[in-house]
């Protein structure tokens, strides 16, 4: 679905406390979480504005978001 919210807290509501804790204590996690949410916001805005970039660029953004999401999930689930 276009414009769907995939922010970290939306994707992993069960880890809200862990996300908050890690964002306060782990600067690397905070940096990656902010980057993930920024990528998600950029993708959402592009989708809602008719994706004024080519398909390959959009695919790369979504690929980067997915890889970062997997990495963040692994860190969350190991807490």
pLDDT at 69: 97
Q: Which residues of the chain have pLDDT under 70?
A: 1-2, 51
pLDDT at 5: 86
pLDDT at 40: 94
The reported pTM is 0.87
- The full set of domain ranges for the chain reads 8-77
pLDDT at 73: 97
56-62 contacts, C-beta under 8 A, 24 or more apart: none
């Amino acid at each position: 679905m276009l414009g769907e919210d995939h922010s970290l807290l939306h994707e992993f509501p069960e880890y809200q406390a862990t996300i908050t804790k890690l964002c306060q204590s782990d600067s690397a996690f905070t940096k990656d979480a902010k980057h993930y949410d920024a990528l998600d916001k950029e993708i959402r805005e592009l989708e809602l504005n008719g994706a004024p970039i080519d398909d390959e660029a959009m695919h790369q953004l979504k690929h980067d978001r997915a890889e970062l999401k997997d990495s963040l999930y692994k860190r969350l689930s190991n807490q």
